[in-house]
Structure 1
Amino acid sequence: MHSRDLPQLRPERLDDLVLAVSRRLRRRWAHGLSPWGLSPHQSRALRVVTSYGDLRLGDLAEHLRIAPRSATEVVDGLVERGLLERVADPADRRATLVRPTPEGEKVGAEVDAARGADAEALFGHLTAGERADLVRLLRKVVDTPGPGEPDGH
């Protein structure tokens, strides 16, 4: 997709361009997950759990910025696939933690590598300086709260 294919975009509207990039990333990533049969939500949850280790469902929901019920549904699918497991929380026997299985660790690493390769394919035409500038500018937008926002995330 090229900007010439999007006549409705106005070059001065950064929000239009950011949304176009976001849509493009989501489409590419949904397609890129097909070898593992994961949804984007499952992929994100697996990445969080493999990165942070044992998590309560509420903490996972917070990391993913989704409702706890939605986190439960995502985890259920990953447990059924043998990628995550539920274990008792040793600090609170009433609570449950989720953790990656060895297969979950393996699949998580494969998905992470594929995601990195896909990002390289998408952004590879940018110079190192352009990429650094883009990261710096996007980080500034993400980290700076807008009016009425409690934080920038």
Structure 2
Amino acid sequence: MTTTPTDDPAGAPTGDQAHAAGRPEAVDRADDRTGEQAGEQAAERAGEQADEQVGEQLDAAELADAMTRAIKRIRRRTGERLDPYGITPGQARALRTLAHAPGCELPDRAMRLSDLADKLHIAPRSATTVVDALEEAGLVERSPDPADRRAVRILLTEAGRAAVERIGRVRDEVAQEYFGEVSPADQAVLLRVLRSAEARFLAAGPPRRPAHPGGAAR
């Protein structure tokens, strides 16, 4: 009696059986599917890594934005507190810079006007305007430089030193208001991180610039 072939899928040959029977295309299709899955997984991993890198960049930008907002708010509040004393934020910076200069109370060692401009990162003409206002308020006085008659040194007066102390108290008050609710441990971590970032930034030096727009950096 002749046996009739069945269409039952359960009786379909396996990949190994098909290959042995001269039907390698079934095995090839299985290998193709495995390769496609591996490729998809690799693409997913690459995408995740790219997302992580973008996330790190966004986090750094967010941190920079948070720092900028903090600085603006602290400066604004400090300026509001100093306004009743007739001292602007720029004048406060100049007074504190003069007070922290070595030999600030000695006529032959006090800071030169040109050095003050450099410390404040402003033009000499702008520094002259600031010093003019401070001198008019009786907070500083000009003194000829004994070593160079063309140069001028800036001395704090008694009123100027008192103003520096007042500025220090205002700065402490504002800082306490802003960071007072932050734990000492978190403040220490924040300070350490900012100092580390600044040190690395300064150590890296200025960025290399391309020779011309679109050119390669040198």
Query: What amino acid maps onto 1:79 in structure 2?
Result: E
* TM-score, normalization by structure 1: 0.84
The structure that has the greater radius of gyration is 2
Q: 1:143 aligns with which of 199, 205, 216?
A: 199
Query: Does the CA-based 8 Å contact 2:113-2:128 persist in structure 1?
Result: yes
Deviation at 1:148, TM superposition (A): 6.0
Deviation at 1:94, TM superposition (A): 2.2
Q: 1:18 aligns with which of 61, 64, 67?
A: 67
Deviation at 1:141, TM superposition (A): 2.1
Structure 1 window deviating more from structure 2 (114-123 vs 136-145): it is 136-145
Confirm or deny that 1:56 pairs with 2:112: yes
SS of residue in 1 equivalent to 2:201: coil
Name the residue aligned to 1:44: 93
Query: Does the CA-based 8 Å contact 2:139-2:158 persist in structure 1?
Result: yes
SS of residue in 2 equivalent to 1:77: helix
Confirm or deny that 1:27 pairs with 2:76: yes
Q: Distance in 1 between matches of 2:71 and 2:206?
A: 21
Deviations 1:115-148 (A, max 9, x none): 1121111111111111111111111222222766
Q: Distance in 2 between matches of 1:35 and 1:51?
A: 24
Aligned-residue identity in percent = 41
Q: Distance in 2 between matches of 1:142 and 1:105?
A: 30
Which structure has more RCO (C-alpha within 8 Å, separation ≥ 6)? 1
Q: Distance in 2 between matches of 1:99 and 1:42?
A: 14
More strand by share: 1
Query: Does the CA-based 8 Å contact 2:78-2:170 persist in structure 1?
Result: no
Q: Distance in 1 between matches of 2:177 and 2:139?
A: 27
Confirm or deny that 1:111 pairs with 2:160: no
Query: What amino acid maps onto 1:46 in structure 2?
Result: L
Q: Distance in 2 between matches of 1:144 and 1:36?
A: 38
SS of residue in 2 equivalent to 1:126: coil
